[in-house]
């Protein structure tokens, strides 16, 4: 088991990867630097190896797939995850690692949004999207995460070995955040500077398609992690629709004593039945979720026991 493992997912980062690896060695001399190549067609692997990184591979394309491979293969007391594009200074890595190793943090978020991100990032839709995602998650899950989409994070062994990686692409950061918040893990924020990519280095993130994927991930995980709230909202919407169509029928009935729009009345009844079914579905899923959280706590205990055994073997 490594004391600190620096995990760098990479796809065509020859312009910056050598510098990132060297900076990681300087910031954390005791760390093992892992570069996971994701089908690069340039000199990323060659330059990373030259700089002293351990090279590994993930053939399935997508950042989520790379992180799944990393988390399965690497055992460490502390994990530092950072992008290979040299947008995050490594000088903050020590503080982030100490929060995991000395203060018991499960996830440390490298907060760009409280520092230089909005000045350095030249893509206004990225800025707007980051703010929207942060506000959505903090509102839905009653948390105080200051940067949801950052690729600069530190993790504990317990987080890494209990995190079910489901996303294939850049939605992975959102998934990590929700997993930590929902399971009541200790999350800390460290303000870090951000610098835009150097000339010649291109972002792999598509503002629109990846943004839609992230918003879809938030909605999907809200449904999964907060089913009672989600299905109660659905029930309220259905009830409003049902009442909206029922009121004219009821007014006509009061005036004439007749129901002229009988099909509308039937539809209103079925829509309201669907609303009631939504409430009961939310209650059932909510209780299943409670059991899942209890099982997760037992899983954490087992992983903690394995972790202590590995520590003694170091």
CATH of the domain at 193: 3.90.550.10
| Nearest to 177, CA basis, from 136, 231, 129, 208 | 136
| Same domain, residue pair 78 and 94 | yes
| Same domain, residue pair 81 and 136 | yes
Q: Are 145 and 181 in contact (CB under 8 A)?
A: yes
Q: Which domain holds residue 198?
A: 2-223
| Structure tokens that stand for 204 in this block | 């792999």
Q: Which helix (H) or strand (E) holds 33?
A: strand 32-37
- Boundary residue ending a domain (190, 223, 256): 223
What pLDDT, on the 0 to 100 scale, is given for residue 43?
93
Q: Are 146 and 111 in contact (CB under 8 A)?
A: yes
Which residues, at least 6 apart from 207, have a Cβ–Cβ distance to it below 8 Å?
A: 123, 125, 126, 129
| Same domain, residue pair 258 and 218 | no
Q: Are 278 and 235 in contact (CB under 8 A)?
A: yes
| Same domain, residue pair 213 and 244 | no
| Same domain, residue pair 214 and 242 | no
| Same domain, residue pair 103 and 8 | yes
Tell me, letter by letter, the H, E, C secondary structure of 48-80: HHHCCCEEEECCCCCHHHHHHHHHHHCCEEEEE
Burial class (CB in 10 A: 0-12, 13-18, 19+), 278: buried
CA distance 303 to 307: 6
CA distance 28 to 244: 63
| Same domain, residue pair 275 and 154 | no
| Same domain, residue pair 144 and 167 | yes
What pLDDT, on the 0 to 100 scale, is given for residue 124?
53
What pLDDT, on the 0 to 100 scale, is given for residue 90?
94
- Number of structural domains in the chain: 2
- Boundary residue ending a domain (223, 258, 275): 223
Which residues, at least 6 apart from 28, have a Cβ–Cβ distance to it below 8 Å?
A: 4, 6, 80, 90, 93, 94, 97
| Same domain, residue pair 171 and 280 | no
DSSP structure class, residue 168: S
| Same domain, residue pair 140 and 163 | yes
Written as tens digits, the pLDDT of the chain (314 aa) is 899 999 999 999 999 999 999 999 999 999 999 999 999 999 999 999 999 999 999 999 999 999 999 999 999 999 999 999 999 999 999 999 999 999 999 999 999 888 766 665 555 555 666 777 788 888 888 888 888 888 899 999 999 999 998 888 778 888 899 899 989 999 999 999 887 766 655 555 555 676 677 778 778 878 888 899 999 999 999 999 999 999 988 888 888 887 788 888 899 999 999 999 999 999 999 999 888 888 888 888 888 888 888 888 77
| Same domain, residue pair 193 and 244 | no
| Same domain, residue pair 279 and 293 | yes
Helices (H) and strands (E) in the chain, counts: 11, 7
Q: How many residues does the chain have?
A: 314
The whole model's pTM is what? 0.80
Measured on CA atoms in the order 305, 35, 168, 136, is the torsion positive or negative? positive
Q: Give Cα separations from 311 to 3, 67, 77, 242 (angstroms).
A: 9, 23, 8, 60
- Boundary residue ending a domain (223, 241, 269): 223
Q: Give Cα separations from 54 to 16, 83, 127, 228 (angstroms).
A: 16, 15, 34, 46
């Amino acid at each position: 088991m490594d004391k600190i493992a620096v995990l760098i997912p990479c796809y065509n980062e020859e312009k910056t990867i050598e510098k990132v690896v060297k900076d990681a060695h300087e910031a954390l001399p005791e760390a093992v630097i892992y570069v996971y190549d994701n089908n690069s067609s340039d000199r990323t692997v060659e330059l990373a190896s030259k700089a002293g990184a351990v090279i590994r591979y993930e053939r399935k394309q997508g950042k989520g797939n790379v992180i799944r491979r990393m988390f399965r293969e690497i055992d460490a007391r502390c994990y530092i995850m950072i992008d290979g594009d040299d947008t995050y200074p490594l000088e903050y890595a020590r503080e982030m690692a100490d929060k995991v190793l000395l203060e018991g943090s499960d996830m440390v978020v490298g907060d760009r949004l409280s520092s230089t991100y909005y000045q350095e990032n030249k893509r206004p839709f990225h800025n707007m999207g980051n703010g929207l995602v942060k506000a959505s998650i903090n509102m839905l899950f009653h948390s105080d995460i200051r940067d949801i989409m950052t690729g600069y994070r530190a993790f504990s062994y317990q987080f890494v070995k209990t995190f079910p990686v489901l996303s294939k692409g850049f939605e992975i950061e959102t998934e990590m955040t929700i997993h930590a918040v929902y399971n009541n893990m200790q999350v800390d924020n460290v303000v870090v500077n951000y610098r835009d990519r150097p000339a010649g280095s291109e972002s792999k993130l598509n503002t629109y398609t990846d943004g839609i994927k992230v918003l879809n991930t938030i909605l999907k995980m809200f449904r999964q992690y907060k089913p009672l709230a989600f299905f109660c909202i659905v029930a309220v919407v259905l009830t409003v629709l049902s009442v909206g169509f029922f009121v004219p029928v009821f007014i006509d009935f009061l005036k004439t004593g007749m129901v002229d729009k009988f099909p509308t009345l039937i539809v209103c009844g079925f829509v309201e039945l669907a609303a009631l079914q939504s409430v009961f579905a939310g209650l059932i899923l909510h209780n299943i979720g409670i059991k899942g959280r209890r099982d997760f706590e037992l899983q954490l205990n087992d992983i903690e026991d394995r972790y202590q055994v590995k520590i003694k073997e170091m």
